[in-house]
């Protein structure tokens, strides 16, 4: 009898709380998630430098904002798994049209004026198709960015000690793999595009994306899927708090109201911030009881407001990061890039220097820095996420200073 009870106990412990497999059954720890699932997840337009940089920054900004919409769709309607598949199909469509747009210049070319000189430039139809396909890729990214990495993290149970540590390591190796592959891709594709064909340069990512989607779907039987509760989307919950607080802004908040609304639970010290949102806990006359915001919803809204300083800081960092793909490439065109006769390094390949540095530093960070700091701080990830962000932004200051000194020297040499 004791043996049968121990078997049942082991079976219960083997299930992952709050997760199901692809059939909707409770996820078994030994057969789903963890690293086994994480492996599956893991010039020609002849525009001026200013115009090219402007178009690149507009596209990059759009691609950075659209994930908000992608996250909303994933959380409210499709879920991360379906959103990834749909986004991948849109991604493939965009890359296919990019390949097609690169085939058009060989048909018809017209003269246009760039920098006071007349040169052959691309036809308007090709430019239109190019930008349509480029923004389709941005839409595809909007489903990938908020979902792929998060879905990979879902494969690790944060309530299990071993998987919690592995989850922190997953983010490091995710970034390591992504940057490593992107760096190799830039090196190979820029050389192909500069020396052979843009059609091949766009066609290769399209084929790789198709293969990536197939590999992702092959892991379906091993994935863990979070159980979707009846709660509304986080966007809707947080938005409702602000709307309710505005509606009740004339209402005086008694000192005992919050405690009554929270079922007698005293608010924590952090909840003393943004007290104006506490008015969302009140029920206006004529409103239904279920329209009243809960204490958890109010705390979620306050957490979003606390994130605004971090978001504002990263916006400034985005300006620095944009220089790599725009101005640094322009600098590279004026540099001596010949290693040996007949072989010139493409200017765009200079973007890989950042990636190569990350590839070299990530293993050192994960295998040396994290274990050492973990023994000192007791935090599974070594240091907190906020400390990691702050350190990265602090180091970027020195990067910009060095880049400015190099540009001063370059301008003096050019004069």
Among 267, 302, 337, residue at a domain's last position: 302
Among 229, 264, 282, residue at a domain's last position: 229
What is the total count of domains within the chain?
A: 2
Residue 90 and residue 136 in contact, taking contact as beta carbons nearer than 8 Å: yes
pLDDT of residue 48: 56
Q: Are residues 217 and 247 in the same domain?
A: no
Q: What is the mean pLDDT of residues 268-294?
A: 67
Three-class SS state of 110: strand
Q: Burial, 87: exposed, middle or buried (Cβ in 10 Å; 0-12, 13-18, 19+)?
A: buried
Higher pLDDT pick, 363 / 191: 363
pLDDT of residue 266: 45
Task: Return mean pLDDT, the chain.
Answer: 73
Measured at the CA of 133, the angle between CA 129 and CA 66, to 5 degrees, comes to 135
Q: What is the mean pLDDT of residues 172-179?
A: 78
Give yes or no for residue 414 having a pLDDT over 60: yes
Instruction: Tell me if 384 is assigned to some domain.
Output: no
pLDDT of residue 116: 47
Q: What is the mean pLDDT of residues 367-389?
A: 85
Residues with Cβ within 8 Å of 303's Cβ and at least 6 positions away in sequence, in order, are none
DSSP letter string over 3-19? HHHHHHHHHHHTEEEEE
pLDDT tens per residue across span 207-216: 888 988 898 8
Instruction: Tell me if 225 is assigned to some domain.
Output: yes
Residue 83 and residue 74 in contact, taking contact as beta carbons nearer than 8 Å: yes
pLDDT of residue 102: 78
- CA dist 73 and 86 (Å) reads 11
Higher pLDDT pick, 339 / 29: 339
Residue 216 and residue 41 in contact, taking contact as beta carbons nearer than 8 Å: yes
Q: Are residues 266 and 138 in the same domain?
A: no
pLDDT tens per residue across span 22-51: 555 666 555 555 544 444 444 455 555 556
Q: List the one residue out of 229, 381, 239 whose CA is nearest residue 304.
A: 239
Instruction: Tell me if 74 is assigned to some domain.
Output: yes
Q: List the one residue out of 47, 19, 13, 48 whose CA is nearest residue 32.
A: 19
pLDDT tens per residue across span 231-280: 666 778 888 888 888 887 777 665 554 555 444 444 444 467 787 888 77
- CA dist 263 and 231 (Å) reads 19
Q: List the one residue out of 175, 174, 202, 173 whose CA is nearest residue 190.
A: 202
pLDDT of residue 89: 92
Give yes or no for residue 151 having a pLDDT over 60: yes
Please give the residue range of the domain that contains residue 177.
Answer: 16-229
Q: List the one residue out of 292, 296, 258 whose CA is nearest residue 278.
A: 258
Among 229, 244, 261, residue at a domain's last position: 229
Q: Are residues 200 and 238 in the same domain?
A: no
- CA dist 62 and 59 (Å) reads 5
Kindly state the tokens that stand for 396: 């970027």
Higher pLDDT pick, 334 / 9: 334
Share of the chain above pLDDT 90, in %: 1
Q: List the one residue out of 348, 326, 331 whose CA is nearest residue 410.
A: 331
pLDDT tens per residue across span 119-137: 444 456 777 787 888 888 8
- CA dist 13 and 23 (Å) reads 20
Q: Are residues 108 and 65 in the same domain?
A: yes
CATH number for the domain that contains residue 121: 1.20.1250.20
Instruction: Tell me if 398 is assigned to some domain.
Output: no
- CA dist 310 and 307 (Å) reads 5
Neighbours of 56 (CB within 10 A): 15
Most confidently modeled range among 5-9, 70-74, 350-354: 70-74
Give yes or no for residue 7 having a pLDDT over 60: no
pLDDT of residue 291: 65
pLDDT band at 379 (very low <50, low <70, confident <90, very high): confident
Instruction: Tell me if 294 is assigned to some domain.
Output: yes
Give yes or no for residue 378 having a pLDDT over 80: yes
Find the helix or strand (DSSP H, E) in which 48 lies. none
Q: Are residues 223 and 270 in the same domain?
A: no
Three-class SS state of 26: strand
Most confidently modeled range among 81-90, 93-102, 150-159, 400-409: 81-90
Instruction: Tell me if 400 is assigned to some domain.
Output: no
Longest dimension (CA), the chain: 91
């Amino acid at each position: 009898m004791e043996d049968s009870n121990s078997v049942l106990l082991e079976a219960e412990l083997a299930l992952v709380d709050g997760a199901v497999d692809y059939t909707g059954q409770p996820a078994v720890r030994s057969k789903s998630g963890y690293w086994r699932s994480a492996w599956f997840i893991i010039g020609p337009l002849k525009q001026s430098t200013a115009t090219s940089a402007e178009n690149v920054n507009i596209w990059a900004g759009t691609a950075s904002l659209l994930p908000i919409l992608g996250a909303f769709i994933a959380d409210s309607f499709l879920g991360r798994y379906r959103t990834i598949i749909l986004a991948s199909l849109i991604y493939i469509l965009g890359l296919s049209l990019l390949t097609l747009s690169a085939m058009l210049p060989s048909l018809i070319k017209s003269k246009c004026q760039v920098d006071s000189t007349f040169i052959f430039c691309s036809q308007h139809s090709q430019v239109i198709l190019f930008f349509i396909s480029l923004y389709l890729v941005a839409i595809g990214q909007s489903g990938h960015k908020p979902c792929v990495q998060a879905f990979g993290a879902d494969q690790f149970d944060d309530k299990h000690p071993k998987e919690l540590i592995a989850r922190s390591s997953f983010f490091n190796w995710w970034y390591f793999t992504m940057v490593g592959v992107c760096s190799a891709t830039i090196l190979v594709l820029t050389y192909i595009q500069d020396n052979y064909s843009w059609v091949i340069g766009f066609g290769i990512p399209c084929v790789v994306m198709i293969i990536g989607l197939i590999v992702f779907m092959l892991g379906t039987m091993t994935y863990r899927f979070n159980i979707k509760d009846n709660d509304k989307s986080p966007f809707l919950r947080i938005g409702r708090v602000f709307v309710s607080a505005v509606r009740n802004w004339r209402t005086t908040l008694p000192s005992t109201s919050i405690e009554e609304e929270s079922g007698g639970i005293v608010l924590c010290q952090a909840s003393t911030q943004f007290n104006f949102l506490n008015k969302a806990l009140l029920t206006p006359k004529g409103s239904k009881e279920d329209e009243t915001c809960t204490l958890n919803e109010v705390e979620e809204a306050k957490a979003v407001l606390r994130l605004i300083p971090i978001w504002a800081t990263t916006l400034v960092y985005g300006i620095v990061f944009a220089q790599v793909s725009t101005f640094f490439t322009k600098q590279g065109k004026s540099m001596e890039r010949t290693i040996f006769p007949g072989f010139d390094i493409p200017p765009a390949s200079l973007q890989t220097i950042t990636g190569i540095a990350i590839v070299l530093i990530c293993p050192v960070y994960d295998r040396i820095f994290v274990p050492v700091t973990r023994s000192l701080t007791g935090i599974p990830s070594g240091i907190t996420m906020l400390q990691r962000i702050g350190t990265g932004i602090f180091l970027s200051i020195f990067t910009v200073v060095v880049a400015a000194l190099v540009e001063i020297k370059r301008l003096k040499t050019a004069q």
